[in-house]
Structure 1
Amino acid sequence: MPSDADTSSSSPGEHATTGQQEQEKTRTMMQARPEVPEPERSAQETIRDYLLENVEEFRRLHELRRKGWETSRGDDHFKKQRAVADKCSTSSTYFFYAMMKTIAIDLDRATDVLNLDEVEQPALLDMCVAPGGFVDTAAAMSMNPDIYIRAMSLPVEQGGHAVKILDTKVDVEYRDITTLAADMGITKDDVPLNFPGPYDFLFEKVLGDNEKFDLVFCDGQVLRTHPRAEWREPREATRLTLTQIALGLEHMKKDGTMVILMHKLDSWRSFDLIHQFSKMATVQLYKHHKHHKIRSSFYLVAKNIQAESALAKEMVAMWKHRYKIATFGTDEEYAEMHRVTRETALVELEKFGDKYVAMGKKIWKTQADGLEKAPFLEKHTKEQSKRRTWKMR
């Protein structure tokens, strides 16, 4: 466990009391607003308890989140943002394209992730490229005019966002990557006879067996504008994530780099994925100070990936197996796939907790700083202060 000096300026006694009080608040709130499936809840609570006990930056963020849950203004704020994101207007497309270019440039400044100058024949893969700011930035920064780029995106007619890539070398392939059955190790025989459908799985591989990349972006998210068959809805986010990371790692060159968009650093799933990548790569976390400041979004940057290692192959196989369960499995099988005990979480925290906290402090501080200054929360805080003052009179 991290020492007090590493996590908080309070005395040990104050530190413990604060952590214990926050743990009780957390359990109450998680029961009222469940964030994770039941099979993961024990592990989730273990992660939260550990952070509340040991990390001042997280305690501060947690308290600000709690205040945000108390007001509908926060919900209204994010509802408006979702409406803008869902609206495929020309102006909104260019806004998000410019935003992604800004994030890519700042991400590179912090991690040197787009530097492919020493690669003789650089190759880049982005399976969810829209609106294209990341790929354009990477192509522009590459000193090699012959950089090989494969870019995929959900078709606009299926609810995908418009692509505004300016680099003429990029030929966007429009497809729903969650249907890449053959690439994910699925055959026609794997489809159950009673499978509800409809489905449009591709039973021919899209990526060549020997096709490898130096840099892979995995930043696709489930789109509300994408109409989907009913069977897909509950597990779509899981299937999309598994497709990106499994194929990204499988088609990674030795010592290559993956950039993965993630959410909720304090979740078990985030902890576990970061831990696994840390065993086969050099790992950094990055959160944009402007565009992601009040959201839980952040990037996992994994460099020097030992893609040919036994662990990498094991992870790819596991993720593909999970994709199969998420696609065809029963509710019981899907729940069991996510089951993690408190004991398992404690063991993994003992192994990786210190490094996890060290990487996470800046992420939690950035979000806390952003929330503290968010107009909807500032107004709520002022109103609470006025009410307390009135009661004291």
Structure 2
Amino acid sequence: MGKNCNTGNRPPDICKMRVFFNGINPFAFGRKSLSILLKLSLISSESPASNMSSDADASSSSPGEHATSVQGDQAKTQPTMKAGTEVPEPERFAQETIRDYLLENVEEFHRLHELRRKGWETSGGDTHFKKQRAAADRCNANSTQFFYTVIKTIAKDLGKATGALNLSRVEQPALLDMCVAPGGFVDVALTKTPGSHIRAMSLPVEQGGHDVKMLDAQVNVEFRDITTLAADMGVTKDDVPLNFPGPYDFLFEKVLGDNEKFDLVFCDGHVLRTHPRAEWREPREATRLALTQTALGLEHLNNCGTMVILMHKLDSWRSFDLIHQFSKMATVKLYKHYRHHKIRSSFYLVAKNIQVDSAFAKEMVAMWKQRYKIATFGNDEEYAEMHRVTRETALVEPQKFGEKYVAMGKKIWKTQADGLENAPFLKKHTKEQGKRRAKE
């Protein structure tokens, strides 16, 4: 594995399992989950889905070609893509298992779940978030300055809590931010480690991207849509089906050099409503963007480097799974800002001392690139299969990582619950409910 970043040569699964029910500890589950667990012996024909894949096409076509239409005379075709959902049915059992596990074992999450339920009963929450979305979509000097200030505050506090932004011990530090706007994270990192080499990218403003506002004018921002970095993601012209709906503008020349490495990578981009996109992109855009950032971020990270990843819905299976995978190759912390993200599900995964040279890390990059291909070109069945989680996997994985996952997540859930409990729209709803009950 090479340099171990002072974390030791940890085995792939860092949580020891107690041996009950063929490796499953029933005491980690509540009664409802345990009743499901006992049915596991009936699932004899369903093997755990592999969490890794080494099948990724790393080749690229000739340089200097920026595709704008369907290319070539490939014999293959692609079944027509229908609008789908980002959380397909094959993942539902896993999601329900995680939710039940948390409800039965984590007081902080149970409280949050009840507050969410109350929020669903009132239109005040919808109005609040609708106003927030409208404000976020308005791009002007004032909104850009506000957004920039918020991100800088989050970056400073995240840095204090995790130490992730301090590269002072690194010789010739380098930083990559593929969704840099408005620039707060890069600015804070530069104040901590002046002179760092920066590679920054951002969606062009004319395509709906945010303005970039950074104190360091020496930072050269490359304006591009990173989900089009086909060559970097191992996609060639030959991978594009003849009947691919289009239009598209895949870049078949690599943007990041094969030997280009960074010590700190930010993966905090999210899909923007202001970004006009082709219809074929809409159902899977969030997945494609997340896969691009994590795959290229990890692939171009120096051994023992750090990644900061913006995530949502800690109680989702996908969040549980990604945190679990990073925990097998890094030291992981979760961070949620107590003020700016308090009522939303947003939080950050901070992975330090990542064992980039390990076989596991390379397998993860390959898997994420393969999933990008499926999310881009696959039909609905292939996309659903990509997200499939077997019942056995959904039941066994919390045994391997549940305790550490809960320990990392308690503060996140408490912060959001505290925020919701004190949100004006929920306080108003609770007060109105009390008045109605008093009249009954």
Q: Provide TM-score, normalisation by structure 2.
A: 0.81
| Secondary structure class of the residue paired with 2:169 | coil
Distance across 2 between alignment mates of 1:169 and 1:271: 38
In structure 2, give the amino acid aligned to 1:244.
Q
**Structure 1 residues 134-213: aligned runs within 5 Å:** 134-142=185-193, 144-145=194-195, 147-213=196-262
Partner SS state of residue 265, structure 2:
strand
Structure 1 residue 140 displacement after superposition: 1.3
Q: Aligned residue for 1:11?
A: none
The amino acid of 1:61's aligned partner reads L
- Deviation of 1:17 after TM superposition, in Å, equals 8.5
Provide the rounded CA distance (Å) in 1 between the counterparts of 2:234 and 2:122. 46
Q: Distance in 2 between matches of 1:360 and 1:16?
A: 18
For residue 46 of structure 1, report the CA deviation from its aligned partner: 0.2
Distance apart, 1:103 and its partner CA: 0.3
Ranges in structure 2 where 5+ consecutive residues have no aligned partner? 1-14, 16-28, 35-84
Q: How big is the shift at 1:359?
A: 0.4
Matched, 1:103 2:126: no
2:96 to 37, 40, 45: 45
Question: Is the Cα–Cα contact under 8 Å of residues 308 and 351 in structure 2 kept in the other structure?
Answer: yes
Supply the RMSD in Å over aligned alpha carbons: 1.6
Residues 211-360 of structure 1 correspond to what in structure 2 (within 5 A)? Answer: 211-360=260-409
Q: Match for 2:128: what amino acid?
A: H
Tell whether the 8 Å contact from 1:19 to 1:52 is kept in structure 2 after alignment.
no
1:196-246, CA deviations, whole angstroms, 9 ceiling, x for partnerless residues?
100000000000000000000000000000000000000000000000000
Change (3 A) 1:231 1:153: same
Q: Distance in 2 between matches of 1:168 and 1:96?
A: 18
1:130 alignment partner, one of 165, 181, 191: 181
Q: Does 1:372 align with 2:421?
A: yes
Amino acid at match of 1:92: S
Q: 2:63 is matched with which residue?
A: none
Deviations 1:152-179 (A, max 9, x none): 0000000001101121221000000000
Deviations 1:287-338 (A, max 9, x none): 0000000000000000000011100000000000000000000000001101
Aligned mate of 2:130, from 71, 76, 79: 79
1:37 CA displacement: 2.2
Residue 320 to residue 16, structure 1, CA distance change in 2 (3 Å): closer
SS at match of 2:275: coil
The answer to whether the 8 Å contact 2:30/2:101 transfers is no
CA–CA distance in structure 1, aligned partners of residues 245 and 32 of structure 2: 50
Give distance in 1, aligned partners of 2:328 and 2:114: 32
Counterparts of 2:164 and 2:271, CA distance in 1: 25
SS at match of 2:139: coil
Residues in 2 aligned to 1:384 and 1:342: alpha-carbon distance in whole angstroms: 40
Cα deviation for residue 35 of structure 1 reads 8.6
Equivalent residue number for residue 27 of structure 1: none
TM-score by length of 1: 0.90
Give 1:341 shift. 2.3
Secondary structure of the 1:253 match is strand
Q: Which residue of 2 aligns with 1:64?
A: 115
Per-residue CA distance 1:11-65 (angstroms, 9 max, x = gap): xxxx969999xxxxxxxxxxxxx99321111000000000001000000000000
Mapped contact 2:227–2:288 kept (Cα < 8 A):
yes
The residue that corresponds to 1:25 in the other structure is: none
Larger helix percent: 1
Following TM superposition, the consecutive aligned residue runs of length 4 or more in structure 1 with deviations greater than 4 angstroms are 15-20
CA distance in 1, matches of 2:349, 2:155: 13
Q: Is the 8 A contact 2:86 2:283 kept in 1?
A: no
Checking the alignment, whether the CA contact within 8 Å between 1:122 and 1:213 is kept in structure 2 is: yes
| Residue identity in the other structure for 2:200 | A
Aligned-partner Cα distance in 2 for 1:16–1:164:
49
Aligned length: 363
Q: 1:256 and 1:61 mapped to 2: Cα distance? A: 34
Which one-letter code corresponds to 2:100 in the other structure? D
CA contact (8 A) 1:322 1:337 kept: yes
Q: Would you say the 8 A contact 2:86–2:284 is kept in 1?
A: no
Percent identical pairs in the alignment equals 81
Alignment-mate amino acid for residue 111 of structure 1 = T
Q: Which runs of 5+ in 1 are unaligned?
A: 2-14, 21-33
Contact between 1:307 and 1:313, CA under 8 Å: does it hold in 2? yes
Contact 1:46 1:342 in 2 (8 A): no
The AA in structure 2 aligned to 1:106 is D
The amino acid that maps onto 1:127 is M
Native 8 Å contact 1:19 1:54 kept in 2: no
Amino acid of the residue matched to residue 317 of structure 1? Answer: A
What letter matches 2:137 in structure 1?
D
- Residue of structure 2 equivalent to 1:6: none
SS at match of 1:255: strand
